[in-house]
Amino acid sequence: MDLGSAKFWYVLARCVDYSGLALFAGGLLFLALLWPAGADHRRARGVLVTGWVLGFAGTVAGLGLQGAWVTQRSPADLLDPDLLAQVLDSQFGRIWFAKALGWVLAGVVLADVLQRGRRAAVSLGWRVGAGVVAAGLLRTTGLTGHSAESAHPLLSQLADFGHLAGICAWIGGLAMLLFGVLSRRDPGELAEVVPRYSKLALTSVLLVIVAGAVLALGTLGDVGRVFTTGYGRILLTKLAALAVVLLFAQASKSWVARRLDFAVVLRGDAGAVRPFVYSVAAEATLVVVVLFAASLLVTASPGR
Amino acid sequence: MVASVGRGSRRDQVVAACLAGAVVVVVGYASGIGLKTTAASSPVAPDQPPAQAAPAPQPVLPNGELPPPGAVQPMPPMPGGGIPPVDAPPPAEPVADVPSGEIPPPTGDIPQPTGDPMPPAPPETPPQTPTGTPPPTETPTCQPSAVQPVLDTVSGLPLVGGLTTGLAVTGPDGLLATIIGSCPAAPAQPAAPPAIPSSGG
Protein backbone atom coordinates (compact mmCIF):
# COMPACT_ATOMS: atom_id res chain seq x y z
CA MET A 1 0.00 0.00 0.00
CA ASP A 2 1.36 3.39 -1.02
CA LEU A 3 2.05 5.44 2.09
CA GLY A 4 0.98 8.60 0.29
CA SER A 5 -2.28 7.17 -0.93
CA ALA A 6 -5.65 8.17 0.45
CA LYS A 7 -6.42 4.52 1.17
CA PHE A 8 -3.46 4.19 3.50
CA TRP A 9 -4.49 7.27 5.43
CA TYR A 10 -8.08 6.11 5.48
CA VAL A 11 -7.05 2.76 6.97
CA LEU A 12 -4.96 4.65 9.50
CA ALA A 13 -7.96 6.83 10.39
CA ARG A 14 -10.04 3.68 10.92
CA CYS A 15 -7.32 2.27 13.15
CA VAL A 16 -7.20 5.49 15.18
CA ASP A 17 -10.97 5.44 15.40
CA TYR A 18 -11.01 1.82 16.63
CA SER A 19 -8.29 2.57 19.18
CA GLY A 20 -10.20 5.58 20.46
CA LEU A 21 -13.43 3.62 20.73
CA ALA A 22 -11.70 0.79 22.59
CA LEU A 23 -9.98 3.14 25.03
CA PHE A 24 -13.08 5.23 25.65
CA ALA A 25 -15.80 2.58 25.84
CA GLY A 26 -13.57 0.06 27.60
CA GLY A 27 -12.30 2.76 29.96
CA LEU A 28 -15.84 3.78 30.88
CA LEU A 29 -16.74 0.15 31.59
CA PHE A 30 -13.64 -0.29 33.70
CA LEU A 31 -14.41 2.76 35.81
CA ALA A 32 -18.10 1.98 36.15
CA LEU A 33 -17.76 -1.68 37.10
CA LEU A 34 -14.26 -2.37 38.37
CA TRP A 35 -12.61 0.77 39.65
CA PRO A 36 -14.84 3.81 40.33
CA ALA A 37 -12.09 5.35 42.46
CA GLY A 38 -9.97 5.58 39.33
CA ALA A 39 -12.17 8.43 38.12
CA ASP A 40 -10.30 10.63 40.59
CA HIS A 41 -6.87 9.70 39.24
CA ARG A 42 -5.14 11.68 36.55
CA ARG A 43 -3.82 8.79 34.46
CA ALA A 44 -7.12 6.96 34.36
CA ARG A 45 -8.80 10.17 33.23
CA GLY A 46 -6.02 10.56 30.67
CA VAL A 47 -6.96 7.21 29.13
CA LEU A 48 -10.55 8.39 28.71
CA VAL A 49 -9.53 11.75 27.27
CA THR A 50 -7.08 10.09 24.87
CA GLY A 51 -9.77 7.68 23.74
CA TRP A 52 -12.24 10.47 23.14
CA VAL A 53 -9.75 12.57 21.17
CA LEU A 54 -8.61 9.63 19.05
CA GLY A 55 -12.17 8.50 18.39
CA PHE A 56 -13.45 11.92 17.41
CA ALA A 57 -10.41 12.76 15.30
CA GLY A 58 -10.45 9.35 13.59
CA THR A 59 -14.14 9.71 12.76
CA VAL A 60 -13.84 13.22 11.33
CA ALA A 61 -10.67 12.39 9.40
CA GLY A 62 -12.22 9.15 8.14
CA LEU A 63 -15.10 11.10 6.59
CA GLY A 64 -12.84 13.20 4.40
CA LEU A 65 -10.29 10.47 3.69
CA GLN A 66 -12.94 8.03 2.54
CA GLY A 67 -14.11 10.63 0.05
CA ALA A 68 -10.54 11.29 -1.05
CA TRP A 69 -9.95 7.58 -1.56
CA VAL A 70 -13.14 7.06 -3.51
CA THR A 71 -12.59 10.01 -5.78
CA GLN A 72 -8.90 9.20 -6.21
CA ARG A 73 -7.80 12.50 -4.78
CA SER A 74 -4.94 13.41 -2.55
CA PRO A 75 -5.36 12.67 1.17
CA ALA A 76 -4.55 16.32 1.75
CA ASP A 77 -7.97 17.12 0.28
CA LEU A 78 -9.76 15.56 3.24
CA LEU A 79 -11.14 18.90 4.38
CA ASP A 80 -12.14 20.08 0.93
CA PRO A 81 -15.70 21.43 1.26
CA ASP A 82 -16.88 19.94 -2.05
CA LEU A 83 -15.54 16.54 -1.11
CA LEU A 84 -17.08 16.66 2.35
CA ALA A 85 -20.37 17.74 0.83
CA GLN A 86 -20.35 14.67 -1.40
CA VAL A 87 -19.42 12.35 1.42
CA LEU A 88 -22.15 13.73 3.66
CA ASP A 89 -24.61 13.05 0.88
CA SER A 90 -23.77 9.34 0.90
CA GLN A 91 -24.90 6.61 3.27
CA PHE A 92 -21.40 6.23 4.59
CA GLY A 93 -21.32 9.97 5.29
CA ARG A 94 -24.67 9.82 7.05
CA ILE A 95 -23.48 7.02 9.33
CA TRP A 96 -20.17 8.65 10.10
CA PHE A 97 -21.77 12.03 10.64
CA ALA A 98 -24.04 10.32 13.15
CA LYS A 99 -20.99 8.74 14.71
CA ALA A 100 -19.33 12.13 15.04
CA LEU A 101 -22.50 13.32 16.79
CA GLY A 102 -22.19 10.28 19.04
CA TRP A 103 -18.70 11.40 19.99
CA VAL A 104 -20.07 14.83 20.84
CA LEU A 105 -22.59 13.17 23.15
CA ALA A 106 -19.76 11.10 24.60
CA GLY A 107 -18.13 14.41 25.46
CA VAL A 108 -20.97 15.05 27.93
CA VAL A 109 -20.22 11.77 29.71
CA LEU A 110 -16.52 12.56 29.71
CA ALA A 111 -17.00 16.10 31.00
CA ASP A 112 -19.17 14.84 33.84
CA VAL A 113 -16.64 12.26 35.02
CA LEU A 114 -13.80 14.77 34.71
CA GLN A 115 -15.76 17.23 36.78
CA ARG A 116 -17.14 14.98 39.50
CA GLY A 117 -14.73 12.04 39.43
CA ARG A 118 -15.71 9.12 41.61
CA ARG A 119 -19.09 10.61 42.52
CA ALA A 120 -20.05 10.44 38.86
CA ALA A 121 -18.63 6.96 38.36
CA VAL A 122 -20.76 5.49 41.16
CA SER A 123 -23.98 7.26 40.22
CA LEU A 124 -26.62 5.29 38.38
CA GLY A 125 -27.42 8.18 36.05
CA TRP A 126 -23.84 8.50 34.82
CA ARG A 127 -23.53 4.75 34.33
CA VAL A 128 -26.73 4.60 32.32
CA GLY A 129 -25.67 7.58 30.21
CA ALA A 130 -22.21 6.16 29.63
CA GLY A 131 -23.63 2.76 28.71
CA VAL A 132 -26.10 4.22 26.25
CA VAL A 133 -23.52 6.44 24.59
CA ALA A 134 -21.02 3.59 24.34
CA ALA A 135 -23.69 1.33 22.86
CA GLY A 136 -24.55 4.02 20.32
CA LEU A 137 -20.92 4.37 19.29
CA LEU A 138 -20.56 0.60 18.95
CA ARG A 139 -23.71 0.37 16.87
CA THR A 140 -22.79 3.17 14.49
CA THR A 141 -19.35 1.63 14.07
CA GLY A 142 -20.94 -1.72 13.26
CA LEU A 143 -23.17 -0.14 10.63
CA THR A 144 -20.15 0.35 8.40
CA GLY A 145 -18.92 -3.22 8.50
CA HIS A 146 -19.37 -6.29 6.38
CA SER A 147 -22.02 -7.73 8.67
CA ALA A 148 -24.90 -6.24 6.68
CA GLU A 149 -23.77 -8.25 3.65
CA SER A 150 -24.16 -11.59 5.38
CA ALA A 151 -26.85 -14.10 4.49
CA HIS A 152 -28.09 -13.69 8.07
CA PRO A 153 -27.74 -9.96 8.66
CA LEU A 154 -29.42 -9.91 12.07
CA LEU A 155 -27.15 -12.61 13.47
CA SER A 156 -24.11 -11.03 11.87
CA GLN A 157 -24.90 -7.60 13.22
CA LEU A 158 -25.48 -8.96 16.70
CA ALA A 159 -22.16 -10.78 16.41
CA ASP A 160 -20.55 -7.57 15.17
CA PHE A 161 -21.86 -5.66 18.18
CA GLY A 162 -20.65 -8.39 20.54
CA HIS A 163 -17.28 -8.54 18.82
CA LEU A 164 -16.77 -4.78 19.15
CA ALA A 165 -18.03 -4.73 22.74
CA GLY A 166 -15.68 -7.55 23.71
CA ILE A 167 -12.71 -5.86 22.08
CA CYS A 168 -13.47 -2.57 23.83
CA ALA A 169 -13.89 -4.19 27.23
CA TRP A 170 -10.64 -6.08 26.80
CA ILE A 171 -8.39 -3.40 25.27
CA GLY A 172 -9.82 -0.42 27.14
CA GLY A 173 -9.50 -2.36 30.38
CA LEU A 174 -5.96 -3.31 29.48
CA ALA A 175 -5.04 0.35 29.02
CA MET A 176 -6.73 1.32 32.28
CA LEU A 177 -4.91 -1.46 34.07
CA LEU A 178 -1.55 -0.53 32.62
CA PHE A 179 -1.71 3.25 32.93
CA GLY A 180 -4.07 3.57 35.87
CA VAL A 181 -3.67 0.68 38.27
CA LEU A 182 -0.20 -0.73 37.62
CA SER A 183 1.46 2.67 37.45
CA ARG A 184 0.35 3.33 41.03
CA ARG A 185 1.19 -0.13 42.42
CA ASP A 186 -1.18 0.43 45.30
CA PRO A 187 -1.47 -2.99 47.01
CA GLY A 188 -5.12 -2.48 47.90
CA GLU A 189 -6.02 -1.60 44.32
CA LEU A 190 -3.94 -4.45 42.96
CA ALA A 191 -5.71 -6.94 45.18
CA GLU A 192 -9.13 -5.54 44.37
CA VAL A 193 -9.03 -4.56 40.70
CA VAL A 194 -6.64 -7.01 39.01
CA PRO A 195 -8.62 -10.23 39.77
CA ARG A 196 -11.84 -8.54 38.65
CA TYR A 197 -10.27 -7.40 35.41
CA SER A 198 -8.82 -10.86 34.85
CA LYS A 199 -12.34 -12.31 34.87
CA LEU A 200 -13.67 -9.54 32.66
CA ALA A 201 -10.83 -10.01 30.17
CA LEU A 202 -11.42 -13.77 30.01
CA THR A 203 -15.12 -13.25 29.33
CA SER A 204 -14.36 -10.55 26.76
CA VAL A 205 -11.83 -12.66 24.89
CA LEU A 206 -14.26 -15.59 24.72
CA LEU A 207 -16.94 -13.23 23.40
CA VAL A 208 -14.51 -11.80 20.84
CA ILE A 209 -13.56 -15.26 19.58
CA VAL A 210 -17.10 -16.64 19.36
CA ALA A 211 -18.55 -13.48 17.77
CA GLY A 212 -15.55 -13.23 15.46
CA ALA A 213 -16.05 -16.80 14.25
CA VAL A 214 -19.73 -16.09 13.53
CA LEU A 215 -18.78 -12.90 11.70
CA ALA A 216 -16.06 -14.56 9.65
CA LEU A 217 -18.34 -17.41 8.61
CA GLY A 218 -21.12 -15.00 7.72
CA THR A 219 -18.81 -12.74 5.76
CA LEU A 220 -16.76 -15.33 3.91
CA GLY A 221 -19.52 -17.90 3.55
CA ASP A 222 -17.04 -20.74 3.31
CA VAL A 223 -14.01 -21.65 5.42
CA GLY A 224 -12.00 -22.42 2.30
CA ARG A 225 -12.12 -18.77 1.27
CA VAL A 226 -9.84 -17.93 4.18
CA PHE A 227 -6.98 -19.28 2.10
CA THR A 228 -8.07 -18.21 -1.35
CA THR A 229 -9.05 -14.56 -0.97
CA GLY A 230 -7.18 -11.43 0.00
CA TYR A 231 -9.73 -10.82 2.72
CA GLY A 232 -9.04 -14.29 4.11
CA ARG A 233 -5.30 -13.69 4.13
CA ILE A 234 -5.71 -10.45 6.06
CA LEU A 235 -7.96 -12.33 8.46
CA LEU A 236 -5.27 -14.97 8.93
CA THR A 237 -2.73 -12.24 9.66
CA LYS A 238 -5.08 -10.76 12.22
CA LEU A 239 -5.62 -14.17 13.82
CA ALA A 240 -1.87 -14.79 13.97
CA ALA A 241 -1.33 -11.44 15.73
CA LEU A 242 -4.24 -12.21 18.04
CA ALA A 243 -2.71 -15.60 18.90
CA VAL A 244 0.51 -13.90 19.98
CA VAL A 245 -1.47 -11.41 22.07
CA LEU A 246 -3.33 -14.28 23.70
CA LEU A 247 -0.02 -15.89 24.65
CA PHE A 248 0.90 -12.76 26.57
CA ALA A 249 -2.62 -12.66 28.00
CA GLN A 250 -2.14 -16.21 29.25
CA ALA A 251 1.15 -15.18 30.86
CA SER A 252 -0.63 -12.29 32.58
CA LYS A 253 -3.40 -14.58 33.78
CA SER A 254 -0.87 -17.03 35.21
CA TRP A 255 0.87 -14.22 37.04
CA VAL A 256 -2.42 -13.09 38.56
CA ALA A 257 -3.16 -16.64 39.69
CA ARG A 258 0.27 -17.37 41.16
CA ARG A 259 2.06 -14.13 41.97
CA LEU A 260 -0.52 -11.45 42.70
CA ASP A 261 -0.89 -12.34 46.37
CA PHE A 262 2.87 -12.28 46.74
CA ALA A 263 3.06 -8.83 45.11
CA VAL A 264 0.33 -7.54 47.44
CA VAL A 265 2.15 -8.86 50.48
CA LEU A 266 5.24 -7.03 49.28
CA ARG A 267 3.16 -3.82 49.15
CA GLY A 268 3.31 -3.64 45.37
CA ASP A 269 7.05 -3.92 45.16
CA ALA A 270 8.24 -2.81 41.72
CA GLY A 271 10.34 -5.91 41.17
CA ALA A 272 7.47 -8.21 42.05
CA VAL A 273 4.99 -6.46 39.76
CA ARG A 274 7.40 -5.92 36.86
CA PRO A 275 6.78 -9.22 35.00
CA PHE A 276 3.06 -8.52 35.01
CA VAL A 277 3.64 -4.96 33.77
CA TYR A 278 5.78 -6.29 30.92
CA SER A 279 3.25 -8.86 29.77
CA VAL A 280 0.38 -6.36 29.95
CA ALA A 281 2.46 -3.77 28.05
CA ALA A 282 3.30 -6.34 25.37
CA GLU A 283 -0.38 -7.23 25.07
CA ALA A 284 -1.36 -3.59 24.72
CA THR A 285 1.31 -2.94 22.10
CA LEU A 286 0.53 -5.96 19.97
CA VAL A 287 -3.16 -5.20 20.10
CA VAL A 288 -2.42 -2.19 17.89
CA VAL A 289 -1.33 -4.64 15.16
CA VAL A 290 -4.62 -6.48 15.55
CA LEU A 291 -6.53 -3.21 15.27
CA PHE A 292 -4.62 -2.24 12.15
CA ALA A 293 -5.42 -5.62 10.59
CA ALA A 294 -9.07 -5.07 11.53
CA SER A 295 -8.94 -1.68 9.78
CA LEU A 296 -7.58 -3.36 6.67
CA LEU A 297 -10.32 -5.96 6.83
CA VAL A 298 -13.12 -3.41 6.73
CA THR A 299 -11.58 -1.87 3.63
CA ALA A 300 -11.20 -5.22 1.86
CA SER A 301 -13.75 -7.13 -0.13
CA PRO A 302 -14.68 -10.55 1.24
CA GLY A 303 -14.76 -11.69 -2.38
CA ARG A 304 -17.95 -13.67 -2.05
CA MET B 1 -27.41 17.66 52.55
CA VAL B 2 -30.02 15.03 51.74
CA ALA B 3 -31.85 17.53 49.56
CA SER B 4 -28.72 18.37 47.58
CA VAL B 5 -27.98 14.67 47.07
CA GLY B 6 -31.53 14.20 45.84
CA ARG B 7 -31.19 17.13 43.44
CA GLY B 8 -27.89 15.74 42.16
CA SER B 9 -29.41 12.34 41.63
CA ARG B 10 -32.36 13.84 39.80
CA ARG B 11 -30.01 15.88 37.64
CA ASP B 12 -28.09 12.70 36.78
CA GLN B 13 -31.29 10.98 35.78
CA VAL B 14 -32.40 13.89 33.61
CA VAL B 15 -29.00 14.04 31.88
CA ALA B 16 -29.00 10.27 31.36
CA ALA B 17 -32.51 10.37 29.92
CA CYS B 18 -31.55 13.21 27.55
CA LEU B 19 -28.43 11.32 26.48
CA ALA B 20 -30.42 8.16 25.87
CA GLY B 21 -32.94 10.05 23.77
CA ALA B 22 -30.23 11.79 21.78
CA VAL B 23 -28.41 8.51 21.14
CA VAL B 24 -31.63 6.87 19.96
CA VAL B 25 -32.18 9.74 17.50
CA VAL B 26 -28.57 9.62 16.27
CA VAL B 27 -28.50 5.83 15.81
CA GLY B 28 -31.91 5.92 14.18
CA TYR B 29 -30.67 8.57 11.80
CA ALA B 30 -27.56 6.53 11.03
CA SER B 31 -29.76 3.52 10.33
CA GLY B 32 -31.85 5.57 7.92
CA ILE B 33 -35.00 5.44 10.02
CA GLY B 34 -37.30 8.34 9.29
CA LEU B 35 -34.88 9.92 6.89
CA LYS B 36 -36.57 12.39 4.60
CA THR B 37 -35.51 12.27 0.99
CA THR B 38 -34.77 15.82 0.04
CA ALA B 39 -34.29 17.22 -3.41
CA ALA B 40 -30.73 18.04 -2.52
CA SER B 41 -29.87 14.45 -1.80
CA SER B 42 -28.71 12.22 -4.54
CA PRO B 43 -31.11 10.26 -6.69
CA VAL B 44 -30.45 6.98 -4.94
CA ALA B 45 -32.93 6.14 -2.23
CA PRO B 46 -31.42 6.09 1.23
CA ASP B 47 -32.86 2.72 2.12
CA GLN B 48 -31.39 1.03 -0.85
CA PRO B 49 -31.12 -2.69 -0.15
CA PRO B 50 -27.74 -4.20 0.47
CA ALA B 51 -25.59 -5.15 -2.44
CA GLN B 52 -26.41 -8.82 -2.45
CA ALA B 53 -30.07 -8.04 -3.10
CA ALA B 54 -29.37 -5.54 -5.81
CA PRO B 55 -28.52 -6.31 -9.38
CA ALA B 56 -24.92 -6.17 -10.36
CA PRO B 57 -23.85 -2.57 -10.42
CA GLN B 58 -22.90 -1.00 -13.67
CA PRO B 59 -19.37 0.25 -13.41
CA VAL B 60 -19.12 3.69 -14.82
CA LEU B 61 -16.06 5.69 -15.52
CA PRO B 62 -15.67 9.11 -13.99
CA ASN B 63 -16.75 10.65 -17.25
CA GLY B 64 -19.95 8.65 -17.21
CA GLU B 65 -18.88 6.09 -19.77
CA LEU B 66 -18.63 2.37 -19.39
CA PRO B 67 -15.10 1.11 -19.07
CA PRO B 68 -13.66 -0.75 -22.00
CA PRO B 69 -13.45 -4.53 -21.72
CA GLY B 70 -10.37 -5.53 -19.80
CA ALA B 71 -10.11 -2.27 -17.95
CA VAL B 72 -9.85 -2.33 -14.19
CA GLN B 73 -13.34 -2.33 -12.79
CA PRO B 74 -14.48 -0.85 -9.54
CA MET B 75 -15.34 -3.32 -6.87
CA PRO B 76 -18.94 -4.12 -6.12
CA PRO B 77 -20.58 -2.16 -3.38
CA MET B 78 -19.85 -3.15 0.16
CA PRO B 79 -21.44 -2.26 3.43
CA GLY B 80 -20.62 0.97 5.11
CA GLY B 81 -21.08 3.35 2.28
CA GLY B 82 -17.73 2.82 0.76
CA ILE B 83 -17.40 3.35 -2.87
CA PRO B 84 -15.35 1.43 -5.28
CA PRO B 85 -12.68 3.84 -6.28
CA VAL B 86 -12.18 3.70 -9.97
CA ASP B 87 -8.56 2.83 -10.47
CA ALA B 88 -7.90 5.78 -12.66
CA PRO B 89 -8.99 4.44 -16.01
CA PRO B 90 -7.68 6.66 -18.76
CA PRO B 91 -10.44 9.09 -19.61
CA ALA B 92 -11.37 9.60 -23.22
CA GLU B 93 -11.30 13.30 -22.73
CA PRO B 94 -10.17 15.63 -20.02
CA VAL B 95 -12.51 15.40 -17.10
CA ALA B 96 -13.13 17.65 -14.20
CA ASP B 97 -11.91 16.94 -10.69
CA VAL B 98 -15.19 15.42 -9.77
CA PRO B 99 -16.59 12.72 -12.01
CA SER B 100 -19.96 13.39 -13.50
CA GLY B 101 -20.92 9.76 -13.79
CA GLU B 102 -22.78 8.13 -10.98
CA ILE B 103 -21.05 5.34 -9.22
CA PRO B 104 -23.38 2.60 -8.11
CA PRO B 105 -24.29 2.79 -4.47
CA PRO B 106 -22.22 0.52 -2.31
CA THR B 107 -23.75 -1.06 0.71
CA GLY B 108 -20.54 -2.33 2.15
CA ASP B 109 -18.11 -0.55 4.21
CA ILE B 110 -15.37 0.03 1.87
CA PRO B 111 -14.46 -0.84 -1.59
CA GLN B 112 -11.44 -2.60 -2.76
CA PRO B 113 -9.84 -1.13 -5.75
CA THR B 114 -7.95 -4.18 -6.79
CA GLY B 115 -8.57 -7.88 -6.80
CA ASP B 116 -11.70 -9.85 -7.54
CA PRO B 117 -12.99 -7.31 -10.00
CA MET B 118 -16.53 -7.45 -11.23
CA PRO B 119 -17.01 -8.88 -14.67
CA PRO B 120 -17.27 -6.19 -17.29
CA ALA B 121 -20.73 -4.88 -17.88
CA PRO B 122 -22.46 -6.03 -21.01
CA PRO B 123 -21.61 -3.67 -23.83
CA GLU B 124 -25.24 -2.95 -24.56
CA THR B 125 -25.86 -1.67 -21.06
CA PRO B 126 -26.36 2.04 -21.25
CA PRO B 127 -24.26 4.12 -18.93
CA GLN B 128 -25.99 5.52 -15.91
CA THR B 129 -26.45 9.15 -16.63
CA PRO B 130 -28.58 11.70 -14.91
CA THR B 131 -32.09 11.81 -16.25
CA GLY B 132 -32.31 15.56 -16.33
CA THR B 133 -31.48 17.69 -19.29
CA PRO B 134 -28.16 19.41 -18.85
CA PRO B 135 -28.47 23.15 -18.67
CA PRO B 136 -27.04 25.31 -21.40
CA THR B 137 -23.36 25.88 -20.84
CA GLU B 138 -23.76 29.61 -20.58
CA THR B 139 -26.33 29.38 -17.80
CA PRO B 140 -24.73 30.12 -14.46
CA THR B 141 -25.16 27.23 -12.08
CA CYS B 142 -25.90 27.53 -8.43
CA GLN B 143 -22.93 26.43 -6.34
CA PRO B 144 -23.99 25.43 -2.85
CA SER B 145 -21.43 26.02 -0.17
CA ALA B 146 -20.28 23.36 2.26
CA VAL B 147 -22.87 24.62 4.74
CA GLN B 148 -25.75 23.60 2.48
CA PRO B 149 -25.27 19.82 2.77
CA VAL B 150 -24.91 20.12 6.52
CA LEU B 151 -28.19 22.01 6.70
CA ASP B 152 -29.81 19.41 4.45
CA THR B 153 -28.48 16.70 6.72
CA VAL B 154 -29.85 18.45 9.80
CA SER B 155 -33.19 18.88 8.04
CA GLY B 156 -33.22 15.16 7.41
CA LEU B 157 -32.81 14.22 11.05
CA PRO B 158 -35.92 12.77 12.60
CA LEU B 159 -37.44 15.03 15.26
CA VAL B 160 -34.62 17.57 15.00
CA GLY B 161 -35.28 18.11 11.31
CA GLY B 162 -38.97 18.58 11.91
CA LEU B 163 -38.28 20.98 14.73
CA THR B 164 -35.82 23.16 12.82
CA THR B 165 -38.00 23.21 9.73
CA GLY B 166 -41.08 23.94 11.80
CA LEU B 167 -39.33 26.84 13.46
CA ALA B 168 -38.30 28.09 10.02
CA VAL B 169 -34.61 27.79 10.85
CA THR B 170 -33.76 25.40 8.03
CA GLY B 171 -35.52 24.67 4.79
CA PRO B 172 -35.70 26.61 1.53
CA ASP B 173 -37.54 29.52 3.13
CA GLY B 174 -35.83 29.27 6.49
CA LEU B 175 -33.84 31.83 8.38
CA LEU B 176 -30.47 30.32 7.50
CA ALA B 177 -31.36 30.09 3.82
CA THR B 178 -32.24 33.75 3.89
CA ILE B 179 -28.93 34.65 5.49
CA ILE B 180 -26.50 32.47 3.59
CA GLY B 181 -28.58 31.80 0.50
CA SER B 182 -29.50 28.45 -0.93
CA CYS B 183 -29.78 26.64 -4.21
CA PRO B 184 -33.33 25.93 -5.33
CA ALA B 185 -34.21 22.27 -5.56
CA ALA B 186 -34.52 21.41 -9.22
CA PRO B 187 -36.87 18.63 -10.26
CA ALA B 188 -34.25 17.16 -12.52
CA GLN B 189 -30.73 17.63 -11.41
CA PRO B 190 -28.22 18.74 -13.99
CA ALA B 191 -25.00 16.87 -14.47
CA ALA B 192 -23.98 17.19 -10.87
CA PRO B 193 -20.92 15.36 -9.69
CA PRO B 194 -22.24 12.67 -7.37
CA ALA B 195 -18.97 10.89 -7.06
CA ILE B 196 -19.96 9.56 -3.66
CA PRO B 197 -23.02 7.37 -3.79
CA SER B 198 -25.65 8.36 -1.32
CA SER B 199 -26.30 4.85 -0.30
CA GLY B 200 -24.25 1.88 0.35
CA GLY B 201 -23.37 1.28 3.90
CB within 8 Å: B12 and A90: no
Interface probe for A, chosen from B23, B24, B25 (most Cβ of A below 10 Å), is B23
- Is B96 a residue whose pLDDT tops 50? no
CB within 8 Å: B148 and A145: no
Closest to A134 in 3D by CA, of A49, A33, A29, A39: A29
> What length is written for chain A?
304
Tell me the pLDDT band of B142, cut-offs 50, 70 and 90. Answer: low
Closest to B8 in 3D by CA, of A222, A301, A20, A112: A112
Mean pLDDT, residues A174-200 taken together: 91
Which residue among B12, B97, B196 places its CB closest to the CB of A125?
Answer: B12
Backbone angles phi, psi at B44, to 5 degrees: -85, 130
Could you tell me where the DSSP H helices lie in chain A?
Answer: 6-29, 42-70, 81-88, 91-116, 118-122, 124-142, 153-175, 187-220, 225-228, 230-258, 260-265, 270-298
Contacts of B85 (CB under 8 A, 6+ apart): A7, A69, A70, A71, A72, B74, B111, B113
* pLDDT at residue number A153: 83
Say yes or no: B81 contacts chain A, CB-CB below 8 A. yes
- Tell which B residues from 178 to 197 touch A, by Cβ distance under 8 Å: 193-197
**Closest residue in B to A228 (Cα–Cα):** B116
Rounded to two decimals, the ipTM of the complex is: 0.85
Which residue among A101, A109, A146 places its CB closest to the CB of B78?
Answer: A146
Give the whole-angstrom CA distance, residue B190 versus residue B143: 12
CB within 8 Å: B15 and A101: no
Gyration radius of chain B's alpha carbons:
22
Tell me the pLDDT band of A258, cut-offs 50, 70 and 90. Answer: confident
Burial (Cβ within 10 Å: 0-12, 13-18, ≥19) of residue A186: middle
Higher pLDDT, A28 or A223: A28
**Closest residue in B to A299 (Cα–Cα):** B110
| CB atoms inside a 10 Å sphere around CB A283 | 23
The pTM score is 0.70
CA-to-CA dists, residue B77 to A65, A70, A148, B50, angstroms? 18, 12, 12, 8
**Per-residue pLDDT tens for A64-103?**
999 999 888 889 988 889 999 999 989 899 999 999 999 9
* pLDDT at residue number B126: 36
Backbone angles phi, psi at B108, to 5 degrees: -95, 175
Q: Which of A84-88, A103-107, A219-223, B90-94 shows the lowest per-residue confidence on average (mean pLDDT)?
A: B90-94
Interface probe for A, chosen from B26, B107, B155, B160 (most Cβ of A below 10 Å), is B26
Long-range CB contacts for residues B170-176, cutoff 8 Å, separation at least 24: B176/B147, B176/B151
Could you tell me where the DSSP H helices lie in B73-197?
Answer: 147-156, 160-166, 175-180
